[in-house]
Structure formats: structure tokens, C-alpha cells
Amino acid sequence: MPSQCFLGVDLGAESGRVLAGILENQQIRLEEIYRFSNGPVTVAGTKRWNVIGLWSSILKGLSLAAQKYGDQIISVGVDTWGVDYALLSEKQELLGQPYHYRDPRTEGMLNLAISRVPQQEIFDATGVQFMEINTLYQLLAMQQSDPELLNQANVLLLMPDFFHWLLSGSQVVEFTNATTTQCLNPVTGDWSYELLRQLEIPTAMLPKLVQPGTKLGTLREEVMRQTGLSKIEVVAPATHDTASAVAAIPTANTGNPDWAYISSGTWSLMGVEVNQAVLGKRAFELNFTNEGGIDGTYRLLKNIMGLWLVQECKRCYEREGTELDYTALTTAATEAEPFRSLVDPDDPRFLSPVDMREEIKGYCQETNQPVPETPGQFVRCALESLALKYHKVLDWLEELTGTPITVLHIVGGGTKNELLNQFTANSCQIPVITGPVEATGLGNVLVQARAAGAVSSLAEIREIVRNSTETTTYEPQDQAVWSEAMQRFNQLLDAAG
């Protein structure tokens, strides 16, 4: 079969890309066609998506793709992070500027929600971890501060769906990303209407849900004119970036629950793939989430604060005029004293800090540990703490599934940090297999390839990824020192309650 090209638009925390996935002889090659910056824009003290800027960058990337791959292009699909949304009026006007989930307006909204509906009931109705970034709390914040805007909303689209609307005119919400909202019922697979009614959130604006791989229609005429693309299909991939990444994990063991994954980037999403949502008291107590994957799978996982800790330290140095790239920061961490200070990466103070270094220092002071001062000390503290948190979450996953985990796959940009990869193997005491870096992009285009009939199953998607990309294995080392550090880490978590 001649090669086929699928275009993936992947909007990540630091940059957005238009990617071309070229499928030939059961191998996929991913090419970056165009990269542009992404991230929240501060507007009068609020954090927003730059939707118009992003749209124009996407159009530019699509034009470049059309020039290069022309008639080989079969379809296009968009993925991005979860939980954020846009509202359209009846006349199809964008209502307000979509918020970024790190906007602080959701503070206090979890408490408001549980004052109306008991927390366990919210979990039973959604199966999703309690994080104030979730769409549910974003909608509650809007209900509190701007009910007029919410009442004008005719349709709510999650951000990838919004871009699919701009591309094709379709107004649906794709399932994997919908599961991040905490507005969906994991048993019925439909919106949790009853819960939303109890919370007085309008439900008429919620569109039809579609599964990943659904053909949404062809490009709008105006998009074809502007980009030079022909009348190609717009196909919903697994629009939640983490769902796309997990679809592209190069395991040969689909269906076997003895492996875990971390999708590593700004966040570290750590979990296992299960065939049914894991609900119940213990999952609730441990604040695990069940996010929808492809083919009826669920990602039983936990959000760990991830390399955000390092990204934000880097940003602090940059603001002061010191340019330190990730390689320099990791080298400094390699040379820094081991286990000097540890933090719980998931302490809420690290979610949207003004100065990450001050928050890390504050945590260390309050827990009577030496305060980091140098870039190497900050980054070493962040990386060791992340690796220890991974071990903790691995233990919880084994407890929840009753299955020992024998190997950990790490995919995504975070795998470029070899120090963290080795720390993770040491901390978890199981082999770690890293790669591919571009799991999200690969998952995106391969789900489109499946919609086109070129690939048949999730197992085959993973086989293609295995055939097409390199992995690296890290064996555990230094067991004794890491076990000791784990005890210290557990004491910190226990003390925090």
C-alpha cells in the first residue's frame, strides 16, 4: 500500500505542533511540520487560552503540511490537555475567552461542591479524582462569578472539540477528554446529568459524545481555501493527550494488567490500563481517577505534579535573566548532594506558584529540612521527590488492582531526563522502559489511521509503535539508599496527613 499521511495537532503546555504521521509498511514515521508556542496568557489577572493565535498557527502548520504531503493526507485530528472548554452562544459566538485550568478562580469550588453533594457521591457518579482544575469546578466557578455567561451558553466544547469545530463545523465532545471533566458517569459512559442538576450546572449545553476514531466531517471550505488542503476528513483521535500517549505505549501485553505507565511531561500521569473503572471506597480514599481510553479501556491513574516543578524553577531563573536549559539543570542536579531535601510534589502550593523556588523552600522550612539554594539543589529535590512519589503510587496501584506490576513504561517528553528515568527505576525497584518521546503524537495519528481502516486494533497500534521507535531500559540500582529515602518520604506524607 502506498504511504498514507495523517495530520495530528498536539497542543501541549509549552508548545503546540502540527505533526505528520506517515504510515508505510506497518511502520509510522512522525514528522514535526510546524511548532509554535503555547501556554496561558495573563489577561487582567486571569489565565486564558490564546485561541485565536493558536488557530492561526494551526492554519499555518496545515498549509505547510499541504505543501509537503498534498494528496497523501487522509485526515486531521487535534489533541490537547484535559478539562478546559469553550462556550458557544446560540449564534455560534465564542463566549468569553476560554480559561486555562491553572487560573485560580476554582479555589474553594471543591468545598462548594461537597457542601451540595457528599464527596463520595460525586466520586460514585464520576469515578474521577478530586482536583480543583476539573471542568466541574471550573463550571461552578463560572456559575458563581459569571452566571449570565454560563446561561447564554448553547454548547460546551472541550478545547480539542472546539478546534474540530473550527476545522469542520462539528459540535460534539470526544469521550476520552470528556472523562477528565468529572461530569461523566464511568458506568453509563454518558454525562452525569443527575449530579450536574444537583450542582445547578446547566446540562442542555452538553453535546453528544463520540468515541475516539469518529469521523466528524470534512474540512470547512474556508479552511481548504486558506491551507490548500483538499476535502480531507476531520477525525477525533483520543483527544485527551494522555489517552493518546497511553494508546501508543509500546507494550506487547495489551490486556495484561502487570505493567504500569507514566505519561511524563508537565504532569506525570501514572497508572494502569483496566477494562472497567475501579470505583469503591479505597479508590476514593486514595483519590484515583478513571479516565476513558480507547476500546472501552480505562486509565486508572493519578496525576503527579511532574516536571512542572522543574519547568517553573527554570522560568524563575529566566525571569531573573539567567538562562539555564534543561540539560544544564539536570547536570547541576546530577552533581548535587543526594536526598538533601524532599517534598511531596503534589502539595497544592506547587500547582500555580508565583515563584516555585519559594514554595519549595517554604515546604522544606516547614518540615525542618535543609532549604535548597542552588539550581542543582532545587532540581535534585524535585527529581528525587518525583521518583519517590512514583513508588508510592505504584504501591497503591498494586493494592487497587491486586496485581503485582513487573515493568514500568515511561513515554513522553519527560523521558529525555535520563536522571529521572534512573531515579525512577531505583525508587520503584522494577525495570523502566522509556520511549517513545512522541507517544501523544503517535497515538493521535494512529487512531486516525485506524479510523481509515489502515490499522485494526489497540494491540496493532502498539505493535506499529514498537516496530517504529526505539526504547531504552533502566535497571534498578542502589536499593538500600532508595529504601531509606522512601521511609523519610513516607514520614513526610504521613505528617502532612
Measured torsion, CA atoms of residues 455, 461, 463, 467, in degrees rounded to the nearest 10: 90
Q: What is the nearest approach in angstroms of ligand LFR to the Cβ of residue 127?
A: 14
Query: CA-CA distance, 97 to 51, in Å (whole number)?
Result: 8
Q: What is the nearest approach in angstroms of ligand LFR to the Cβ of residue 312?
A: 15
Of the pair 177, 427, the CB lying nearest ligand LFR is at 177
Q: How many Cα atoms sit within 13 Å of 284 on the Cβ side?
A: 13
Contact at 8 Å (CB) between 370 and 340? yes
Burial zone of 90 (CB within 10 Å; 0-12 exposed, 13-18 middle, 19+ buried)? exposed
Query: CA-CA distance, 320 to 326, in Å (whole number)?
Result: 16
**Counting contacts by CB under 6 A, is residue 130 touching ligand LFR?**
no
**Counting contacts by CB under 6 A, is residue 359 touching ligand LFR?**
no
Query: CA-CA distance, 262 to 267, in Å (whole number)?
Result: 9
**Counting contacts by CB under 6 A, is residue 444 touching ligand LFR?**
no
**Counting contacts by CB under 6 A, is residue 242 touching ligand LFR?**
yes
**Counting contacts by CB under 6 A, is residue 81 touching ligand LFR?**
yes
**Counting contacts by CB under 6 A, is residue 23 touching ligand LFR?**
no
Query: CA-CA distance, 119 to 111, in Å (whole number)?
Result: 9
Contact at 8 Å (CB) between 380 and 422? no
Query: CA-CA distance, 353 to 348, in Å (whole number)?
Result: 9
**Counting contacts by CB under 6 A, is residue 83 touching ligand LFR?**
yes
**Counting contacts by CB under 6 A, is residue 387 touching ligand LFR?**
no
Of the pair 97, 367, the CB lying nearest ligand LFR is at 97
**Counting contacts by CB under 6 A, is residue 489 touching ligand LFR?**
no
Q: What are phi and psi of 349, to 5 degrees?
A: -65, -15
Q: What is the nearest approach in angstroms of ligand LFR to the Cβ of residue 13?
A: 6
Query: CA-CA distance, 394 to 428, in Å (whole number)?
Result: 7
Residue 86-105 contact track with ligand LFR, rule CB under 6 A, x = bound: ---------------x----
Of the pair 176, 426, the CB lying nearest ligand LFR is at 176
Among 99, 267, 298, 390, binds ligand LFR (CB under 6 A): 267
Catalytic residue set: 241
**Counting contacts by CB under 6 A, is residue 269 touching ligand LFR?**
yes
Of the pair 126, 218, the CB lying nearest ligand LFR is at 126
Binding site for ligand LFR (CB under 6 A): 81-83, 101, 133, 180, 240-242, 267, 269, 303
